[in-house]
Structure 1
């Protein structure tokens, strides 16, 4: 079996194309569908087993595409016939470029084309480091595309509704355009084949079979990205795409080599789901020989396995099988017999930045929530689970609001746990405004040995980010050295919560002097004295609330960068600048400083400004005053 993954933006016709491919020779096999993510469908073409994986569109779902592309022999980038929509394709093109998986562009819906095909290819080239070459040019009648001319065989095919295209003559008015496009294709292919280059220099006509062979090699090595045309809804161009995949897509051994990482990979996770009353189900692709129940994968044996194509309990090499009762399996990995192998970095999901504190609606579910979230992580590497430091509640991080809604729906439907969500509170801090000296005596007598400790401290502010510092200048043994660490421990405890309810940071405490009692002094007494002295000194010194400022790196197509300036400034951020991405063609990295509290707003604003094509990552930079003498951000 060979496997092809179809990706592309929403409304480009991916699902229609996948169904058309799978039904070229009759009904397809039973698919595996993961709601909101994608569908894997087995089918047969010319007595060969195939599977097509249709990934749902939208940037939130793009983070789930990595494993399906990693497991594929080839990928099809399905795009609409509109040059103005090229930026919507950019995230998908970037994934395929980073993966180095053999890829074909299929320009869909050419019956309603908004642009010339050459304009579409030029617009897509902005986001592709490899050269995009047209393998077909459109056949037009009265300004509408009614067929296509194959530039290698130089045959014209007229589209027929719901049927295979019919062989046709190339109209005289199209001959010059066809000849120009064919020359461009041959010259591009000649860059990768010396024999073809010699034929072109000597003005010899190369044989179509030789050209097809060179085209196959350039696709398998991902030297070029060929482009085909069609309208999947009407069945047009689908057979030509399938023939290209059949002749040019590499064997499973190429995917195995790509994923082995020094150890023989025997399988890779493709899709995964939690099935009610059954548990975790992982769709595996067999990479090296057949898999069956009892086969060793990832250090343990497979507990249950069903061939997606034939329904039996053995999956042939290259085939897809649904594995259950196999706890060692999770999405995001390939597997040798003995261990997990991490997928290449390009297959990783974007770090989720849409975060919500979640708590079970019913207290009885509190103990079960963490276990349910852990099980969801095994099938969805695009999510993260953290802990809110202030409340101790779980923080669920998703790719966006739709992904968040899907995860919460899974918690309710699969595990019976309804949750309430709330924004993650910003990690506010406070610090002191001035230096103060303070003395405190801790004395308690309640029969028997009492408690006595006297401390004199100095509290002073430090620079932002300097943290906590403790020192002592005690002389003459007024506070024995054995008790000084207890004063420090008390000071640290006092700074855990300041007058405004937030941790106090960036302060220095100096123990200057004190007194002790030979009988009643103890570690506990001096800890209590240090805690009380520092707590009172903080109140006397006065505090200001600090907010965390994050350094944000926003990845967007270059045409979007300018529109981010008002977005960032509107969120009271500070623009640091932007520059071209080091390896992703047509992309910029836009850097800014932004209050942590504005991250959710940035997520929503970016989705609108970048038309769903951008994403961002953040790291803590520094703390600043919330009001900074009347300003919100400085």
Structure 2
């Protein structure tokens, strides 16, 4: 074939970058191993089950038996460099895929004939569709298939808004797929274990099925090719080059998703998949167009992943979009940070090979780009480039409180957490000043467990975990007036402050209000602000053990001493008055109520509503999810105390795809035994603090 990358033929498009994505345990890492073996990058395919795979090489991935971060490996196929990025399939690590795919030429979506995984497949395909990433669908595990391929296509099509285009049909023998017929080439292939398939004549009994399936494929292609449509109407056999041109065009323009199949575990169907990528996937020029990057200009790269290594320091895995970048170059990031490239490496799982420079299309690791993070762009020159594909991290759905077992490790913990958050933007750690708690939040229980394992394994910092504090508050129902007097004689100047305050409730959500009604200077003007400060301090922890809100404090009277009065004395007098007043005002506990939007497949609605009501939630209503066939949005109000592990239960009930967002809606009174239990628990925690 001949022509340009954007034209009818295929010209070498530079090094390729292909993401391997798909639902949890669909065989992505096994497919990567088969590709590496087929192309000679490894002598023998590793296995996930025994920890010998090039991908999933980290201790955490092997401990959990699945990917927890992108794994990168390169190979050469028919003279062309290809880099594959194996992305985690677990919903808790799907944000890693979203950071990788914008700079990829195309994606291989690995799936299987399992209707339970259809919702996860739909989420992945939707992400790729919205990002404009060309994609191949690889139906894995054909060796254990129980459905005919057309039944499988009907099963999978609802997960894709783009038509699925069948490129192959299986050759069956005794109910087992022993090979396939390529509908574009009109050739038959018989599988060989861990080797390229053998070309054979199309079996006589399959000729009719091949003709029918090929005509269906050509009809789909003709939707966007008038010349091909005329040829089909006139029963003219289209030239093979024209068919491949149409396949290439429809993939790149997002009109079709080519469907191939095989068995990653046996190495079946791998060569044809590689050839489809080589001939039909776009190259770096198409990525530049999609990201709005011109061909001309200074060298530019996009960071797909940040890694902190034990001995080599920080590595920024990036795709070079134009130009070349070499060791020693000074680069500037999209946020203005300048750095000097300290080495360029090609990664293959945990191994690396030093390179002299990175060319357009390469995916390499650049050393010590401080201040440049995942999702940033960087380039050679003095002006910061725009971030061409910044992806916002998802909102956290699961939180724990962490603390070091030894306080002397706190400094090391903070340094280690900074590195983990730079590697994984979906990991969020915040210090809660209200209670001194260090709160770690993320995408699920396993996500945070992996972070804790990395803290221990990589940085030698072991942390303890517990349930995070719930943001309980207390307020008052009643009103009272009290006097607070602080008098102390210590020799020389004493301490004297005397105030009369009125304490009363305010409407919910008002906060704190301080009113000065002093007349005649009984409390000198310079001390009134100290009275307010003392009153505010007293509200930090009320009688029930929680901060007090929605209170008005009015300073009505008092007295002072010309020598012994001071700011501190009046501040203390206000605290004494508040300590006496609050218990007299009928204190009441308030619990935070979250406004929650839950997205779920429609057929999981009954399970989702049961989860909400089982957590003292109030259902406000539900509606169809805009633009998502077969999905709904459930709106509810749920107490914060009930939401700790809700994501675990929700995912269990929705094949792993249920999700929610939550924001504080209001504070509601909590009384009776539930309130007593909260107060008792808070008291026990305070005694042991």
Question: What's the TM-score, normalizing by structure 2?
Answer: 0.84
Q: What is the CA-CA distance between 1:129 and the residue it aligns to?
A: 2.4
**SS of 1:504's equivalent?**
coil
Residue 369 (structure 2) pairs with residue 326 (structure 1): yes
8 Å CA contact 1:355–1:397 kept in 2: the answer is yes
**Distance verdict in 2 for CA 1:282–1:358, change over 3 Å:** same
Q: What is the CA-CA distance between 1:271 and the residue it aligns to?
A: 3.5
Give the match for residue 17 of structure 2.
3
Q: What is the CA-CA distance between 1:41 and the residue it aligns to?
A: 1.3
Q: What is the CA-CA distance between 1:65 and the residue it aligns to?
A: 1.5
Q: What is the CA-CA distance between 1:496 and the residue it aligns to?
A: 0.9
Residue 147 (structure 2) pairs with residue 115 (structure 1): yes
Q: What is the CA-CA distance between 1:476 and the residue it aligns to?
A: 4.4
**SS of 1:126's equivalent?**
helix
Give the match for residue 317 of structure 1.
360
Residue 605 (structure 2) pairs with residue 605 (structure 1): no
Give the match for residue 270 of structure 1.
304
Give the match for residue 568 of structure 1.
612
Among 343, 348, 354, the residue aligned to 1:304: 343
**SS of 2:548's equivalent?**
coil
Residue 27 (structure 2) pairs with residue 13 (structure 1): yes
8 Å CA contact 2:323–2:360 kept in 1: the answer is yes
Among 476, 493, 496, the residue aligned to 2:540: 496
CA distance in 2, matches of 1:237, 1:295: 42
8 Å CA contact 1:31–1:42 kept in 2: the answer is no
Give the match for residue 282 of structure 1.
316
Give the match for residue 91 of structure 1.
123
CA distance in 2, matches of 1:300, 1:487: 52
8 Å CA contact 1:267–1:285 kept in 2: the answer is yes
What do residues 349-401 of structure 1 show as CA deviations (whole Å, max 9, x unaligned)? 42333222211122221122111110122222221111133442422223223
CA distance in 1, matches of 2:590, 2:151: 52
What do residues 557-595 of structure 1 show as CA deviations (whole Å, max 9, x unaligned)? 333333211112112222223333334454333322222
Q: What is the CA-CA distance between 1:71 and the residue it aligns to?
A: 2.8
8 Å CA contact 1:41–1:53 kept in 2: the answer is yes
Give the match for residue 57 of structure 1.
89
Q: What is the CA-CA distance between 1:76 and the residue it aligns to?
A: 0.5
Give the match for residue 100 of structure 1.
132
Give the match for residue 42 of structure 1.
74
CA distance in 1, matches of 2:512, 2:57: 50
**Distance verdict in 2 for CA 1:121–1:560, change over 3 Å:** farther
**SS of 1:232's equivalent?**
coil
**Distance verdict in 2 for CA 1:111–1:172, change over 3 Å:** same
Give the match for residue 487 of structure 1.
531
CA distance in 1, matches of 2:640, 2:182: 54
Give the match for residue 214 of structure 2.
182
What do residues 169-221 of structure 1 show as CA deviations (whole Å, max 9, x unaligned)? 55566555544443443333233333334444555443332121122112112
**Distance verdict in 2 for CA 1:581–1:261, change over 3 Å:** farther
Give the match for residue 511 of structure 2.
467
Bigger CA drift: 468-477 or 209-218? 468-477
**Distance verdict in 2 for CA 1:503–1:560, change over 3 Å:** same
Bigger CA drift: 349-358 or 307-316? 307-316
Residue 427 (structure 2) pairs with residue 388 (structure 1): no
What do residues 264-321 of structure 1 show as CA deviations (whole Å, max 9, x unaligned)? 6712223433222332223222221222101233332201212448643222221232
Unpaired runs of at least 5, structure 1: none
**Distance verdict in 2 for CA 1:467–1:527, change over 3 Å:** same
Unpaired runs of at least 5, structure 2: 1-14, 44-52, 62-68, 678-689
Give the match for residue 156 of structure 1.
188
Q: What is the CA-CA distance between 1:106 and the residue it aligns to?
A: 0.5
8 Å CA contact 2:34–2:194 kept in 1: the answer is no
Q: How many residues align?
A: 632
CA distance in 2, matches of 1:252, 1:106: 23
Residue 622 (structure 2) pairs with residue 578 (structure 1): yes
Task: Report the aligned-residue RMSD.
Answer: 2.9
**Distance verdict in 2 for CA 1:628–1:128, change over 3 Å:** farther
CA distance in 2, matches of 1:599, 1:317: 47
**Distance verdict in 2 for CA 1:511–1:340, change over 3 Å:** farther
CA distance in 2, matches of 1:575, 1:389: 33
**SS of 1:283's equivalent?**
strand
Q: What is the CA-CA distance between 1:482 and the residue it aligns to?
A: 4.1
CA distance in 2, matches of 1:264, 1:548: 52
Give the match for residue 272 of structure 2.
240
**1:183-202 equivalences in 2 (<5 Å):** 183-201=215-233
Among 185, 208, 222, the residue aligned to 2:254: 222
Residue 404 (structure 2) pairs with residue 360 (structure 1): yes
Q: What is the CA-CA distance between 1:605 and the residue it aligns to?
A: 0.8
Among 155, 161, 165, the residue aligned to 1:129: 161
Give the match for residue 66 of structure 1.
98
Question: What's the TM-score, normalizing by structure 1?
Answer: 0.91
Q: What is the CA-CA distance between 1:505 and the residue it aligns to?
A: 0.6
Give the match for residue 370 of structure 1.
414
CA distance in 1, matches of 2:379, 2:409: 37
Bigger CA drift: 259-268 or 140-149? 259-268
8 Å CA contact 1:307–1:313 kept in 2: the answer is no
CA distance in 1, matches of 2:254, 2:379: 26
Q: What is the CA-CA distance between 1:250 and the residue it aligns to?
A: 1.0
Q: What is the CA-CA distance between 1:497 and the residue it aligns to?
A: 1.0
CA distance in 2, matches of 1:349, 1:111: 38
8 Å CA contact 2:343–2:354 kept in 1: the answer is no
8 Å CA contact 2:478–2:585 kept in 1: the answer is yes
**Distance verdict in 2 for CA 1:269–1:353, change over 3 Å:** same
Give the match for residue 529 of structure 1.
573
**SS of 1:233's equivalent?**
coil
**Distance verdict in 2 for CA 1:301–1:7, change over 3 Å:** same
8 Å CA contact 2:398–2:645 kept in 1: the answer is no
**Distance verdict in 2 for CA 1:576–1:204, change over 3 Å:** farther
Give the match for residue 422 of structure 1.
466
Q: What is the CA-CA distance between 1:424 and the residue it aligns to?
A: 0.8
